[in-house]
Structure 1
Amino acid sequence: MTVNPLPRRPPPVSDELLSSWIGRLARANHCSVEELCGYLGLGQGRVPEHAGDLGHVNWARLCPAVQQTRDEIAAMTLPDTTHHPAQCVSSDDFQSCANCSKQTSGLVLRHWRFAWSLTCENCGRPLVARHPADGLSNRLRVRAARGAALLKTAVAAADLRHMQRISHTLCLLQVLELVYSVPLTSRCQLERSIALAAVDVCSARPLLGVAILLRGNEQAFWDLRRAFPQRRRLIEKVRKLSMNLDMRLPRRRRQESSPVDRSARATSPKKTSAQALDAARQAISELGADADRQALLARADAIWKRQSCVSH
């Protein structure tokens, strides 16, 4: 079978995504992407973007038509990261380089789709999110950059344990409603920066980072217990660490009352009994009367301790 090369073949830009190049080929040859895909043997009018999508490509038609080898074409696709716990390769153009896009219309580079990419590897300029944020603090930017570097290293090393930790951290941020789904490749620059900064925190001191985030937010712990029932022992460990932070931080000490006042309040059985009863009622209201007895007791105890701290 003889396949004639395309009349016009603009060369691919370094690190260009295959779908981006096929689109530019279609415009150069004055046809639609669907028509070109049919001629090239790509099938169904859809350009494959991931390496795993090349199984149905007609290489005998594609390679002669575009004058590229099979390896060169495969190198223009995205890596398969479906086995990673956290999604770090985007399925859409969530960011771009304004400079390179201006120079080459319709251009999309592979690394623009990577969650850890913050600058363009072709021109060195910062990548621009679909929804940029004004006034990001320098501290958040620095933490996000460190998190991006750690994420890149974890993916390159196929460190699934580290990726699992990152995934759990992102789930925590979703429980706290700080970010939403797929935050590492979010079109919102602020949301993505928070997610990348969280990657940095969880890599250095994971338990301490979570404890600081949840300090004083008792409800969030119960949300986490419901979301991760298999991780309850770990969540309880973080909860205790968070409570210890309340007692150890200087700001808390200054606000505490004197030992005499605390001992006087502790000797008031009526007030203690009323608080315990209120805590039990609130625990039943939150978890339901048919909840596990130990869970009810633990929740009531947490509420009672929180009320005691407030009253102190």
Structure 2
Amino acid sequence: MLCESNKELQQLVDEARDYAKQGKVADYIPALAKNNRDELSAAIQYPDGRCISAGDVHEKITLQSISKIISLALVLIDHGEDAVFRKVGMEPTGDPFNSIAKLEAMSEVKPLNPMINAGALAVTHLIKGNDVEDRFSRLLNFSRKISGNSNVHYSEEVAESEMETSHLNRSLCYFLKQHKIIDENVEELMELYTKQCAIEMTCFDLARVGLVFALNGRDPETGDQIIPKEIARICKTFMVTCGMYNEAGEFAIKIGIPAKSGVSGGILGAVPGKYGIGISGPSLNEKGNSIAGLKLLELLSTRYSLSIF
């Protein structure tokens, strides 16, 4: 399926791109430091198969934290709500995505939600399989299914770069293991998690995933229920309350759609019943969100009244 360049969307992308100068790329992951700060691309997929785009939407980016919503959907399918939410909570946090502070202060040690790193590690721990390779294969195949792209793979360079530098995530793993939230080898979980974060998609793929969530888990081409409706609803709710790190409240007020960001500069958006949005803009604000991508979504939401509130 081709994604047609759209003049109106291109104008909005050009307007938002100026904001990229105010941010910087995620250089704490060495492989991501190579990204072009000024790049901004977007794709929008509709239920009828139409797709419009602006910029190089077929350039691949790693999912990073966007993968958290995909792994959550898979694990909920695997285990059900009760088992998953015994390990991780449902509440937003005002802390940074990689913070350990709330864990230390809680009377019951459990990550507040699946969108912060501690919660995502607890979720990834629950992916079924015999070993790291088997578990990652299941996640990758699920990612291919919901993106409609059998060629989706992962970046070995980015995965290795994160594996070498993710000292804080290792600390979170050991903390979770101490409190029996996880019970596996930390290095094996780290290998699985870094590969998960390094899964690569284009803006077109991201928009397609967003559309599946927008359609309550239904495949827009075949009509198959890829994700059970209730699980799609839970995932969209987390995208609204926790999807944009500790900027979720402001995002809900200014833009107001289910969305998930990643420190590669990607944003996945799901406008319920209408369309999926995929954005790539590597320049980040201080919260870790694409600064130009946020502006683009704000422009889109204002012009087309996208907010669900």
Q: TM-score, normalised by structure 1?
A: 0.21
User: Which structure shows the higher strand fraction?
Assistant: 2
Structure scoring higher RCO (CA < 8 A, sep ≥ 6) equals 2
Structure number having the greater helix percentage: 1
